[in-house]
Amino acid sequence: MAEQRKAQMSRRRLLATIGTAAGSSAMYQAMTTLGLAAESTYKVPIRLEGDPKGASVLVLGAGVAGLVAALELHQVGYKVQVLEYNDRAGGRCWSLRGGDRFTELGGFEQTCGFDKDLYFNPGPWRIPYHHGGILNYCKRLGVSLEPFIQVNYNANLHARNAFGGKPQRLRHVPSDFHGNVAELLAKAVSQDKLDQPVTAEDKELLLEALRQWGALDDNYAYKAGVLSSDRRGYQRDPGGGLMDEAVPSEPLPFAEILRSRVWFRLALGQIYEFQSTIFQPVGGMDMIARAFVREIGSLIRYNAKVTAIKQDDKHVTVTYVDARTGGTPMTATADWCLCTIPLSVLDQIDLDVGAPMMDAINAVPYGAAAKIGLQFKRRFWEEDEEIYGGITYTDLPIWQIGYSNTSYGSPGKGVLLGAYVFDSPYAYEFTALPPEDRLKKAVEYGAQIHPQYETEYENGIADGWHRVPWVLGCFGRWTEEARKQHYKDLCDIDGRIALAGEHASNIPAWQEGAVLSSLDAISRLHQRVVAG
Amino acid sequence: MSPEDQGKTLAVWRGMALAMVLTGAAASAAGAQSSDGSFTSPSHFMQRDGGVIYRTVCQGCHMAAAQGAVGTGAYPALANDPKLAATGYSVLVVVNGSKGMPPFGALLDDEQVAAVVNYVRSHFGISYPDSISSADVKLARP
C-alpha cells in the first residue's frame, strides 16, 4: 500500500516535498510569489536633487522613519523640526539596560536589573544583509555591526509531545530528516518507482545528489556511522593521542521525527530574511538611534505629545502638549509635514486629511507581540551546553529562546531572550498578565528546556507590545484585502502631509520598511517642493 | 494549523508571515498549560468562560477594571461606554476589530465571543438586562 502510494507520487511532487523540507526551491518559489524575495529598490544613498529654497518640514516621531527623514531633509537644506513623544529617540529601535525604567499602559513600572553592558532589544533584533537601507545608515553613521546568529545547529528544537519532551539539537533533526527522505527517494528512483520516467543520465545524477545531500552510504542507506555523524555529530567526538576512539551517534527514528512535527522549523534559516548573513548592532539595537541623534539630535523636541495636525494650502500646524505635564498646548508650523506616528495612535489624533487617507489610517489593526529578556547568574547555555548564540525553537508558549550573540565565553552574568511570540493567542495572553507574571511564566516554560533556569535565573523585563504607550501594538498588521484597498491612499501625499513608517511599507515590522517608506515619502515630497 | 490555514496566513501576510508559520504555528496537541485554558493553543483561544477570556485577553488593553488606558493614544474604557448598550456593536468590534484593535473573529468561536461580550456587559458597573447567544454571533460574522 505504502509502496503503491509512493509510486503514485509524481516526480515533481516528490521533489517539491523535498524542496520544502530542505527549504530550497519550493520555499523560494512561495516567497517570490509573495514578493518577499524581491530585491530592494533602494539606491544608496538617496539623492534629493534641487533646491528646497528654505522650505520647512515638521517630522512627527523620532523613530527610524522620522530620523531618516530628518537627517536627509536637513542635509539638503530644509528647515527641520522633529516632535517626539518619548524622552528618547528610536521608537521601536529600542534597547533596555540596567537601570532603565519602563512604564507600560496600566501603570506597571519595570526597572531593568541587568548588569553593566547587558541589554535586551524589546523591538527589532536582527538586520538581514539585504536590508540595504538600514545597513547603509549603519555604515554612514558608524554603527558597529556583528553577526546575529539565526541558525545554531547546537541550539534546540523542542516539542512537548515529541521525543519524550526532550529538546533535540538542531543538528540531529535536519540530518536525520534529510537522510531518511534521501534514502526513501533513492529507493524509489533506483527501483523506477516514479510515475514519470527519468533519463538514465538524470537518474544517475539524482542518485548521486541524494547520496551527497542525505549523507547516505554506498548502498544509499542512512544509518549510524561516520557519514551521518559528520552531519549530526558524534556520540563521542574524535580526540587526540590515545584518547578513546570516536563513537558515531545513532539517528533518531524517522517515524518519531515525522510525528514530532519539528520539521515545521527546518526551513526557517532558509527564509530570505533569516538567511546568513544577519547583523545586530554591537551594544544594542538603539545604537542606530543614538547614531542618528549624534547627527541631528538638536532638531528633536522630546516629550511632545501631538494632539492635532491641521493644514491649509500654505502650512501645516501641529498642536502638542508636554507628554509628562500636559499643560498649555503649543504649536509648531511648517510648510510640510512628514508624520511617522503609528496608525494605532494617529487614528486618535485630530487630523486634517481627506477621506481616502483617513480610511486607510483606520484600516490597519496593530499586531500583538511579547518579548521577554532574562538575566542569569552565568552563561550556562555556553558553559554547560556549548550553545553560542542562535535560537532554540519550541512549541511552548515562549516559542523561542534567543541566546546572546556577543561576548562569547565572558565570565559573569548573561542575558537571553526568554520569549518572543507574535500574532498568536500566546502574545495576547502574555500581554494580559502583569509583568512579574510574564516573567514567571517565561522562566517556568524555559526551565522545561534548560533546567538551569531554576537555579541561575536572577531578573528580567517583559514587554507586551499592546501595553507600550506610544504604539499600542507591535506593527501594522495589514491584510491583503486592506492593502489592496487602502495602501496607496495611505502613502499618497495628502495636501502637505505625508505618512511614513513600517506601516507604510511592504516590509511590515522590519526597520527596513520604515527606512524605505521614509525615503520614498521624502523623495515624493521633495519633488513637489522643487517643482514649486 | 491546517495546510489551508497556513495558505491563508501566507496569503494574508508578508514579511513576518513565513516567520510566523515556521516559528510558532505548529499546532500542538499538548495538554493545557494553564487550568483556565490560557497558554494552551498557538492558534486559538481555548478559554471558555467569559470572565476568564476578559482577564487573559481583553485586559491586556482594556485593563483589569475595564477602565482603559492613556498613552500617546488611548484604549477606550468599556466600563462607561454607552455604545455597549447595543449587543450588535460589541459583537462586531470583537469579531472584526476596530481601527487599531485587531479582529478576534478567527481566534474565538461564536460561544466564546458571546461569553466575553455577555461578561463585559454585566460587569464593571454595567448591567444590561439582555444577553446574546452564540447564534447571534454567528449571524454577525462576515
Tell me the per-residue pLDDT of A479-517, one tens digit each, with 9 for 90 and over.
999 999 999 999 999 999 999 999 999 999 999 999 999
Q: Give the whole-angstrom CA distance, residue A170 versus residue A392.
A: 8
Residue B9 shares a structural domain with residue B58: no
Cross-chain residue pair A274–B19, CB shorter than 8 Å = yes
Cross-chain residue pair A510–B107, CB shorter than 8 Å = no
Mutate to test the interface with B, among A108, A426, A484 (most CBs of B within 10 A): A426
User: ∠ CA(A70), CA(A75), CA(A78), 5° rounding?
Assistant: 70
Radius of gyration of chain B (CA): 16
The architecture CATH gives domain A96-154+277-285+367-467: Alpha-Beta Complex (3.90)
Q: What is the ipTM of this complex?
A: 0.89
User: ∠ CA(A116), CA(A122), CA(A128), 5° rounding?
Assistant: 105
CATH class given for the domain over A2-36+160-260? mainly alpha
Instruction: Please count the structural domains in chain B.
Output: 2
Chain A hits for B38, CB-CB cut-off 8 Å, are: 425, 429
Nearest CA-CA distance, residue B1 and chain A, Å = 11
Return phi, psi of residue B71, to 5°.
Answer: -125, -130
pTM of structure? 0.90
Mutate to test the interface with A, among B61, B67, B116 (most CBs of A within 10 A): B61
Residue B110 shares a structural domain with residue B82: yes
Nearest CA-CA distance, residue A250 and chain B, Å = 26
Give residue A66's Cα distance to chain centre: 20
Q: Which of A267, A426, A473 sits opposite B22 (nearest CB)?
A: A267
Residue A342: which of B100, B62, B70 has the closest Cα? Answer: B100
Place B28 in a pLDDT band, splitting at 50, 70 and 90.
Answer: very low
Q: Give the whole-angstrom CA distance, residue A457 versus residue A29.
A: 43
Residue B9 shares a structural domain with residue B42: no
Domain ranges of chain A: 2-36+160-260, 56-90+289-363+477-531, 96-154+277-285+367-467
Q: Which portions of chain A are predicted below pLDDT 50?
A: 1-12, 14-39
Residue B24 shares a structural domain with residue B41: no
DSSP state of B39: T
Strand partners, A416: A374
Number of A:B CB contacts under 8 A?
A: 180
Query: In this structure, which long-range contacts are made by residues A135-142, counting pairs with CB atoms below 8 Å and at least 24 apart in sequence?
Result: A135/A279, A136/A42, A136/A44, A136/A45, A137/A68, A137/A71, A137/A288, A137/A291, A137/A292, A137/A515, A138/A279, A138/A281, A138/A288, A138/A291, A140/A45, A141/A288, A141/A291, A141/A292, A141/A294, A141/A295, A142/A291
Strands A497-499 and A336-339: parallel
Residue B62 shares a structural domain with residue B93: yes
Residue B19 shares a structural domain with residue B45: no
Which domain, by its residues, includes B70?
37-140
Cross-chain residue pair B99–A426, CB shorter than 8 Å = no
CB B133 within 8 A of CB B114: yes
Give residue A264's pLDDT.
Answer: 84
Cross-chain residue pair B102–A344, CB shorter than 8 Å = no
A208: left (phi over 0), alpha (psi -120 to 50) or beta: alpha
Residue B15 shares a structural domain with residue B41: no
User: ∠ CA(A69), CA(A75), CA(A80), 5° rounding?
Assistant: 55
Which CATH superfamily includes the segment(s) A56-90+289-363+477-531?
A: FAD/NAD(P)-binding domain (3.50.50.60)
- What lies within 8 Å, CB to CB, of B116 at 6+ separation is B50, B53, B54, B57, B58, B94, B108
Residue B133 shares a structural domain with residue B105: yes
CB A109 within 8 A of CB A103: yes
At B51-106, the pLDDT tens digits run 999 999 999 999 999 999 998 899 999 998 999 999 999 999 999 999 999 999 99
Residue B70 shares a structural domain with residue B48: yes
Mutate to test the interface with A, among B2, B9, B12, B14 (most CBs of A within 10 A): B14
* Closest residue in A to B28 (Cα–Cα): A395
Sequence-ordered alpha helix ranges (H) in chain B: 3-12, 16-23, 50-53, 59-62, 87-96, 110-120, 134-140
Q: Is the omega angle on the peptide bond into residue A425 within 30 degrees of 0, that is, cis?
A: no
At A193-239, the pLDDT tens digits run 887 778 889 999 999 999 999 999 999 999 999 999 999 999 999 99
Q: Calculate the alpha carbon distances from A234 to A70, A117, A213, A447 in Å.
A: 55, 36, 19, 26
A26 in contact with B at a CB cutoff of 8 Å? Answer: no
